[in-house]
Structure 1
Amino acid sequence: MLQAACYGVLGDRTPDVSRYLRTHALPPEPDEAANWGARVRQSVYRLWLLVLRKDGWADLDAVLAEIVGLREAQKSGEAQFLETSDTPRSDAWQLMASYHLSKAAELLATYSAQGSVAGGFNIREQLQAQFDRSQIACERGELIGLHATVRLLSETAERMVANSIWSVTRGASARIARFVESMAARTRDKPVFEMLPPQRIALRDQGLMNSGARSVVLSLPTSSGKTFIAQFRILQALNQFEAERGWVAYIAPTRALVNQVCAKLRRDFSPLGIVVERVSPALDIDGVEAELLADKDPRTAFRVLVGTPEKIDLLLRGGWEAKIGRPLTLVVVDEAHNLSNKGRGLRLELMLATINRECRNSQFLLMTPFIENRGEVARWLSPDSFADMTVEFNWRSNDRAIVIAQPSKAERAGDYEISLQTIHTSKSTIKIDHLVPLCSGRELGLTWSQVRPSLSNVAAVTASCLNRRGPVIVVAGKVKDTWGLARTMAKDPKLAEKLEQRPGSKDMSNIDFVADFVAEEFGRDFELIGLLKKRVGLHHTGLSDDTRVLMEWLMELGELDTMVATTTIAQGLNFPVTAVVMASHQYPYGVDMPPEDFWNLAGRAGRADQSGTGVVALAATTDDRVALLSDYVGRNVSHLNSTLIDMVRSALAAGSQLELHTLYYMKEWSAFLQYLAHSYRQIDDHAAFASQIEQVLRGSFGFQKLRREDQTVANRLVAAVTDYAAIIRNQPLSLVDTTGFSWESVSRALAGARAAGIDSNSWDASTLFTANDRTLQNAFGVLLQIPELKAELAEVTGGGRGNGDLLARIVKDWVNGASLAEMANEHFRGPNDSPTDAMSKACRLVYGKMTSTASWGLSAIQSLTIRDGLDRMTEEERRTFRNLPSRIYYGVNSDMAIDLRLMGVPRNAAQPLSDHLSRQNVGTGIKSMRAALEGLSDADWHTAVGAAGPTYQKAWKILEGLA
């Protein structure tokens, strides 16, 4: 066991070593009745296994305690042993060698815990002295076997010191030193004593922690701990601009990741006094966020801001860096391969270009496992100060095999067999050339005729067989398919027996809590409740955001055996699963998942803290599909390309002229036109802009590449931008930045608002969401004509051209507290829809379409019609005005409830809790509300929310990362 662990460390397989030692019982402490020589040998063996395992402070404390006990026992045991020994000389030298090995273990345990030994930092020299003396003793005693062990432990100790969090960060700033101390502190549930090899290589060997490069692309395998690496870069940037109190923008692609990252950064940075805040994905800056961003108090002002690319882009184009009054010093982009995403990539690219041009102190850290042309991307943002950092050796946090699961008919009628065929493995040593039988018979009670034609049933059976090894994610293409898969697994006739034989705790308290939450959110009859009781969960857009977070929480705790999800789960969430089973490799409407999304999803299996080989199984029912899937998996992620290149070429292919003002109806072109309008506004001179067009375009990654690949097409784009500049000349382009619309859409919205009679007097918070007020109906009638919004808004009301009156009624019900069940029955249930279908549709349209798009649209109409009205408002009136769109986004109808929603309180609890706090005369504002919320007792929650109070209190703590 000791040799295996040592070779694992030397092979940079430290996660495997820790997992191996955690899952195998260590030798017990030696029997006091044994002779002294045997006791010492067994003690040294055990001490080193404890040092290698380092399962929290308990192991390190055990090392020191056992060494103290060994020294005490030495007083009586050693002399007697040597006096009665038949080979006293050899035994004496063996004891000497073992004593030095025990001392080395003590030194290493002490250093791992506190970064020094007896006030000294020369750990390598101290260890070398002990190993040298041990080797000398072995040589003099002619102890060949022990000599080899000493040399092995010496090399292992050297690698452990190299990986130590203390060694990697030695010489860094005082702030980083305090961060390291807090990460290794006894108060942490999972203290960090050492880096993963990719973290060590990036931070120390490649110098990221002390790098002066402005632009860094960090390309590491999935589960390499990129967020932890980013934390050191963040601390470096904050330290670099401490006098100016600079701030960092951390950009994550989804709301779930924004919440996840914010919770982690808050937890890790709070001991350092670094304030971390997040902004909602809603495309407006409400009163709460305006207060948060404008905070000037050094004790409470944020230093790290987490948000989606679209929100950070809106914030910066709206001039908020100047309003914040402190410089943006670092932009961290998580999942940076999204730069090539056809839907959102261009806006992210142009936002980075804008920051690069306008924010003097900005630096960039782009993180992804997938960019091959890393150097090219890094050079784009800073040609004279960039770095491409990657792990060149083939490191993986765990072994992973990608297989195809295919059924075949068995001899007995109705029976079948599922076999696995490996098509990709992380190591050649785990590749199997022949088919591997997985299970046979009638798993899940299904027959051959039911399994043969159904990819969903093949996936369900495969998952059922694989989850005997641990939790499994099953991926379907559509929300409706996930429910069918979950039902199939829950109907397993042997499920009760399997649950009884399930390893680990049988406690259902966490499951019961989430089931109670789901009942409060969706009603006591909602189908998910019964599935949860069978340890089957779901994760898709047909559930509320809060419910999905709680599903993730259950998976992280190992409470669920199976989670059935749609492909949206691919973006960067970390679940401790042993396998991912895919019924579909396509998004809805038959579009293949891009290679980067597939490999991101594959990375959910076989991560650093999981045992065994991670399995990614793709379901197939025919040999043709096996061939198709083999070809699909064989596709590698190619170079990252800007979508701008394809946009320009497609536009030219569709017509001989490139007339930008005619392309505004396409969202990707709208983003480009907004970039041009913002740049024009910043230069603020037509002649100067005309002369600098190429410079403005070169700020984008796409134009730089287009210019190298096709100068003629690049010149045509420059000419088109020149023509467009003449069109937007003398227009109020500030409205482009405040609305997130192209100028063409702004112009259309202005005309529509005037025709509808919407003006600065239309925004009365006391009447806007009442049944008799027509403002919302009129506003949505205008917004349904705006290309950036109309598809999503129209879908909420059933598609087609959309229905402004119906949309307004839906929004008003939502803001005024209608439950999801009421919303589903009233507005979204079709004649053939089951209750589950209606609820899924309601969640998908309300959370996925309405809340974000309708709030964005309302904010835009406000910006277009208020004019100088804000200047005549009091601070409180201004706050209420800005909060109106957030009432739609959060589904509540008061400013105080919005504060609570921003702080993670679930919607159903936010309004009653705000009513309770207002009765306690708690002031509005983020500071007073946060203090009041954190000070609420269990009884307060019960008084405010009723019997569901404890459920919502626990949910809030989990959603905010406090539990």
Structure 2
Amino acid sequence: MLQAACYGVLGDRTPDVSRYLRTHALPPEPDEAANWGARVRQSVYRLWLLVLRKDGWADLDAVLAEIVGLREAQKSGEAQFLETSDTPRSDAWQLMASYHLSKAAELLATYSAQGSVAGGFNIREQLQAQFDRSQIACERGELIGLHATVRLLSETAERMVANSIWSVTRGASARIARFVESMAARTRDKPVFEMLPPQRIALRDQGLMNSGARSVVLSLPTSSGKTFIAQFRILQALNQFEAERGWVAYIAPTRALVNQVCAKLRRDFSPLGVVVERVSPALDIDGVEAELLADKDPRTAFRVLVGTPEKIDLLLRGGWEAKIGRPLTLVVVDEAHNLSNKGRGLRLELMLATINRECRNSQFLLMTPFIENRGEVARWLSPDSFADMTVEFNWRPNDRAIVIAQPSKAERAGEYEISLQTIHTSKSTIKIDHLVPLCSGRELGLTWSQVRPSLSNVAAVTASCLNRRGPVIVVAGKVKDTWGLARTMAKDPKLAEKLEQRPGSKDMSNIDFVADFVAEEFGRDFELIGLLKKRVGLHHTGLSDDTRVLMEWLMELGELDTMVATTTIAQGLNFPVTAVVMASHQYPYGLDMPPEDFWNLAGRAGRADQSGTGVVALAATTDDRVALLSDYVGRNVSHLNSTLIDMVRSALAAGSQLELHTLYYMKEWSAFLQYLAHSYRQIDDHATFASQIEQVLRGSFGFQKLRREDQTVANRLVAAVTDYAAIIRNQPLSLVDTTGFSWESVSRALAGARAAGIDSNSWDASTLFTANDRTLQNAFGVLLQIPELKAELAEVTGGGRGNGDLLARIVKDWVNGASLAEMANEHFRGPNDSPTDAMSKACRLVYGKMTSTASWGLSAIQSLTIRDGLDRMTEEERRTFRNLPSRIYYGVNSDMAIDLRLMGVPRNAAQPLSDHLSRQNVGTGIKSMRAALEGLSDADWHTAVGAAGPTYQKAWKILEGLA
């Protein structure tokens, strides 16, 4: 066991070593009745296994305690042993060598815990002295076997010191030193004593810790600990601009990742006094966020801001860096391969270009899985000061095999066999050339005729067989398919027997808690509750955001055996599983999942804290599909490309002229036109802009590449921008930045608002969401004509051209507290829909379409109609005015409830809790509300929310990363 662990460390497989030692019982402390020589040998063996395992402070404390015990026992045991020994000389030298090995273990345990030994930081020299003396003792006693062990332990200790969090960060700033101390502190549930190899290589070997490069692309595999690396870069940037109180923007692609990252950064940075805040994905800055952003108090002002690309873009184009009054010093982009995403990539690219041009102190850290042209991407943002960093050796946190699962008919009637065929493995040694039988018979009670034609049933059976090894994600193409898969797995006739034989705790308290939460959110009869009781969960857009987070929480705890999800789960969620089974590799609209998303999803299996080989199984029913899937998996992420190149070429292919003002109805072109309008506004002079068009365009990654590849097409784009500049000349382009619309859409919205009679007097918070007020109906009638919004808004009301009156009624019901069940029955249930179908549709349209798009649209209409009205308002009136769109986004109808929603309180609890706090005379504002919320007792939650109070209190703590 000791040799295997040492070789694992030397092979940079430290996660495997820790897992191996955690899952195998260490030898017990030696029997006191044993002779002293045997006791010492066994003790040293055990001490080194504890040092290698380092399962929290308990192991390190055990090393020190057992060494103290060994020294006490030495007083009586050593002399007697040597006096009675038949080979006293050899035994004496062996004891001497072992004592030095125990001292080395003590030194290494002490250094791992506190970064120094007896006030000294020369751990290598101290260890070398002990190992040298041990080797001398072996040589003099002619102990050949022990000599080899000493040499092995010496090399292993050297590698452990190199990986130590203290060694990697030595010489860093005082703030980073405090961060390291807090990460290794006794108070942490999972203290960090050493780095993963990619973290060590990036931070120390490649110099990211002390890099002066403005633009860095960090390209590492999934589960390499990129976020932890980013934390050091963040602290470096904050330290660099401490006098100016600089701040960092951390950009994550989804709301779920924004919440996850914010919770992690808050936990890790709070001991340092570094305040971390997040902004919602809603495309407006409400009164709560305005207060948060404008906070000037050094004790409470944010230093790290987490948000989606679209929100950070809107914030910066709205001039908030100047309003914040402190410089943006670092932009961290998580999942940076989204730059090539056809739907959202261009806005992210142009946002980075805008920051690069306008924020003097800005630096960039782009994190992504492997891409070939990382140097080109890094050079784009800073040609004179860039770095691309990657781990060149083939490191993976765990072994992983990508296989195809295919059924074949068995001899007995109705039975079948599922076999696995490996098509990609992380290392050649786990590739198997022949089919591997997984299971046979009638798994899940399904017959051959039911499995043969059904990818869903093949996936369900495969998952059922694989989840005996641990939690499994099953991926389906559509929301409706996930319910079918979950039902199939829950109907397993042998499920009760399997649950009884399930390893680990049989405790269902966490499952029961989430089931209670789901019952409060969706009703006691909601189908998910019964599935949870069978340890089957779901994760898709047909559930609320909070419910999906709780599904992830259960998976992290290992409480669910199976989670059935749609392919949209590929966007970088952070819970580990032993296997991913894919019934579909396509998104719901029929397009193949891009390679980068597939490999992100595959990265869920075989992570650093998972045992065994991670399996990614793709379901196939025919040989043709096997060939198709083999080809699909063979596609690798190669170059990261800008979508601007394809946009320009497609536009030219559709017509001989490139007339930008005619393309505004396409969202990707709207983003580009907004970039031009913002740049024009910043330059503030038509002649200057006209002379600098090529410079403005060169700020984008796409134009730089287009210019290199096709100068003629690049010139045509420059000419088209010149023509467009003449069109937007003398227009109020500030409205483009405040609305997130192209100028053409702004112009259309202005005309529509005037025609509908919407003006600065229309925004009365006391009447806006009442049944008799027509303002919302009129506003949505206008917004349904705006290209940036109309598709999503129309879909909420059933598609087509949309229905402003119906949309307003839906929004009003939502803001006034209608439950999801009421919303589903009233607005979304079709004649043939089951209750589950109706609820899924309601969640998908309310959370996925309505809340974000309707709140954005309302904010835009407010910006277009308020004119100088804000200047005449009191501070409280301005706050209420800005909060109106957030009432739609959060589904509540008061400013205080919005505060609570921003702080993570679930919707159903936010309004009653705000009423309770209002009766306690708690003032509005993020500071007072946060203090009041954190001070609430269990009894307060029960008083405010009723019987569901404890459930919502626990849910809030989990959602905020407090539990």
Give the alignment's TM-score, normalised by structure 1. Answer: 1.00
For residues 413-454 of structure 1, the C-alpha deviation after alignment (integer angstroms, 9 at most, x for no partner) is 000000000000000000000000000000000000000000
1:957 aligns with 2:954: no
8 Å contact kept, 1:891–1:907: yes
Identity %: 99
For residues 196-235 of structure 1, the C-alpha deviation after alignment (integer angstroms, 9 at most, x for no partner) is 0000000000000100000000001110000000000000
SS at match of 1:217: strand
Aligned counterparts of 1:475 and 1:26: Cα–Cα separation in 2:
38
Query: Cα offset for 1:573?
Result: 1.0
Q: Which residue matches 1:700?
A: 700
Aligned counterparts of 2:869 and 2:140: Cα–Cα separation in 1:
92
For residues 627-662 of structure 1, the C-alpha deviation after alignment (integer angstroms, 9 at most, x for no partner) is 000000000112000000000000000000000000
8 Å contact kept, 1:558–1:576: no
Query: Cα offset for 1:303?
Result: 0.1
8 Å contact kept, 1:414–1:448: yes
For residues 39-97 of structure 1, the C-alpha deviation after alignment (integer angstroms, 9 at most, x for no partner) is 00000000000000000000000000000000000000000000000000000000000
Aligned counterparts of 1:885 and 1:174: Cα–Cα separation in 2:
43
SS at match of 2:954: helix
Aligned counterparts of 1:363 and 1:565: Cα–Cα separation in 2:
37
Query: Cα offset for 1:576?
Result: 2.3
SS at match of 1:923: coil
SS at match of 1:954: helix
For residues 296-351 of structure 1, the C-alpha deviation after alignment (integer angstroms, 9 at most, x for no partner) is 00000000000000000000000000000000000000000000000000000000
Aligned counterparts of 1:588 and 1:920: Cα–Cα separation in 2:
48
Aligned counterparts of 2:220 and 2:783: Cα–Cα separation in 1:
43
Query: Cα offset for 1:259?
Result: 0.1
Q: Which residue matches 2:538?
A: 538
Aligned counterparts of 1:372 and 1:363: Cα–Cα separation in 2:
22
For residues 692-742 of structure 1, the C-alpha deviation after alignment (integer angstroms, 9 at most, x for no partner) is 000000000000000000000000000000000000000000000000000
Q: Which residue matches 1:876?
A: 876
8 Å contact kept, 1:30–1:43: yes
Query: Cα offset for 1:370?
Result: 3.1
Aligned counterparts of 2:605 and 2:490: Cα–Cα separation in 1:
22
Q: CA RMSD of the aligned region, Å?
A: 0.3
For residues 359-394 of structure 1, the C-alpha deviation after alignment (integer angstroms, 9 at most, x for no partner) is 000000000013220000000000000000000000
Q: Which residue matches 1:771?
A: 771
8 Å contact kept, 1:942–1:949: yes
- The more displaced of 585-594 and 749-758 is 585-594
SS at match of 1:162: helix
For residues 262-295 of structure 1, the C-alpha deviation after alignment (integer angstroms, 9 at most, x for no partner) is 0000000000000000000000000000000000
Aligned counterparts of 1:629 and 1:950: Cα–Cα separation in 2:
47
SS at match of 1:450: helix
For residues 851-886 of structure 1, the C-alpha deviation after alignment (integer angstroms, 9 at most, x for no partner) is 000000000000000000000000000000000000
For residues 460-514 of structure 1, the C-alpha deviation after alignment (integer angstroms, 9 at most, x for no partner) is 0000000000000000000000000000000000000000000000000000000
Aligned counterparts of 2:371 and 2:515: Cα–Cα separation in 1:
41
Aligned counterparts of 2:372 and 2:911: Cα–Cα separation in 1:
49
SS at match of 1:590: coil
Aligned counterparts of 1:575 and 1:906: Cα–Cα separation in 2:
22
8 Å contact kept, 1:585–1:592: yes
SS at match of 2:589: helix
8 Å contact kept, 1:457–1:485: yes
Aligned counterparts of 2:212 and 2:370: Cα–Cα separation in 1:
24
Give the alignment's TM-score, normalised by structure 2. Answer: 1.00
Q: Which residue matches 2:89?
A: 89
Aligned counterparts of 1:477 and 1:589: Cα–Cα separation in 2:
9
- The more displaced of 202-211 and 586-595 is 586-595
Query: Cα offset for 1:589?
Result: 2.5
Query: Cα offset for 1:588?
Result: 1.3
SS at match of 1:592: coil
For residues 832-865 of structure 1, the C-alpha deviation after alignment (integer angstroms, 9 at most, x for no partner) is 0000000000000000000000000000000000
Aligned counterparts of 2:472 and 2:185: Cα–Cα separation in 1:
33
Query: Cα offset for 1:172?
Result: 0.1
SS at match of 1:370: coil
Q: Which residue matches 2:126?
A: 126
SS at match of 1:301: coil
8 Å contact kept, 1:370–1:596: no
8 Å contact kept, 1:378–1:386: yes
Aligned residues: 963
Aligned counterparts of 1:933 and 1:422: Cα–Cα separation in 2:
52
Aligned counterparts of 1:936 and 1:467: Cα–Cα separation in 2:
40
Aligned counterparts of 1:801 and 1:186: Cα–Cα separation in 2:
60
Aligned counterparts of 2:639 and 2:630: Cα–Cα separation in 1:
21
Aligned counterparts of 1:69 and 1:223: Cα–Cα separation in 2:
40
Aligned counterparts of 2:806 and 2:687: Cα–Cα separation in 1:
48
Q: Which residue matches 2:191?
A: 191
Aligned counterparts of 1:558 and 1:292: Cα–Cα separation in 2:
36
8 Å contact kept, 1:250–1:332: yes
Q: Which residue matches 1:60?
A: 60
Aligned counterparts of 2:374 and 2:125: Cα–Cα separation in 1:
39
SS at match of 2:407: strand
Aligned counterparts of 1:572 and 1:393: Cα–Cα separation in 2:
23
**Structure 2: gaps of 5 or more residues:** none
Aligned counterparts of 1:814 and 1:312: Cα–Cα separation in 2:
27
Query: Cα offset for 1:595?
Result: 0.3
For residues 741-771 of structure 1, the C-alpha deviation after alignment (integer angstroms, 9 at most, x for no partner) is 0000000000000000000000000000000
Aligned counterparts of 2:278 and 2:240: Cα–Cα separation in 1:
22
- The more displaced of 100-109 and 564-573 is 564-573
Aligned counterparts of 1:98 and 1:370: Cα–Cα separation in 2:
45
- The more displaced of 368-377 and 470-479 is 368-377
SS at match of 1:178: helix
Alignment of 1:298-377 (within 5 A): 298-377=298-377
Aligned counterparts of 1:39 and 1:570: Cα–Cα separation in 2:
53
Q: Which residue matches 2:263?
A: 263
SS at match of 1:887: helix
Aligned counterparts of 2:185 and 2:140: Cα–Cα separation in 1:
42
Aligned counterparts of 1:619 and 1:101: Cα–Cα separation in 2:
52
8 Å contact kept, 1:47–1:105: yes
For residues 546-596 of structure 1, the C-alpha deviation after alignment (integer angstroms, 9 at most, x for no partner) is 000000000000000000000111111122210000000000122000000
8 Å contact kept, 1:337–1:370: no
Q: Which residue matches 2:604?
A: 604
8 Å contact kept, 1:403–1:424: yes
Aligned counterparts of 1:753 and 1:630: Cα–Cα separation in 2:
54
- The more displaced of 522-531 and 362-371 is 362-371
Aligned counterparts of 2:547 and 2:221: Cα–Cα separation in 1:
29
SS at match of 1:227: helix
Aligned counterparts of 2:388 and 2:637: Cα–Cα separation in 1:
17
Query: Cα offset for 1:687?
Result: 0.1
Aligned counterparts of 1:261 and 1:372: Cα–Cα separation in 2:
27
8 Å contact kept, 1:768–1:776: yes
1:390 aligns with 2:390: yes
Aligned counterparts of 1:948 and 1:424: Cα–Cα separation in 2:
48
Aligned counterparts of 2:547 and 2:717: Cα–Cα separation in 1:
46
8 Å contact kept, 1:6–1:153: yes
Aligned counterparts of 1:387 and 1:641: Cα–Cα separation in 2:
18
8 Å contact kept, 1:330–1:362: yes
8 Å contact kept, 1:202–1:389: yes
Alignment of 1:471-510 (within 5 A): 471-510=471-510
Aligned counterparts of 1:116 and 1:476: Cα–Cα separation in 2:
52
Aligned counterparts of 2:574 and 2:707: Cα–Cα separation in 1:
39
Aligned counterparts of 2:191 and 2:310: Cα–Cα separation in 1:
35
SS at match of 1:922: coil
SS at match of 1:612: coil
**Which consecutive segments of 4 or more residues in structure 1 shift more than 4 A?**
none
Query: Cα offset for 1:663?
Result: 0.1
Aligned counterparts of 1:710 and 1:879: Cα–Cα separation in 2:
50
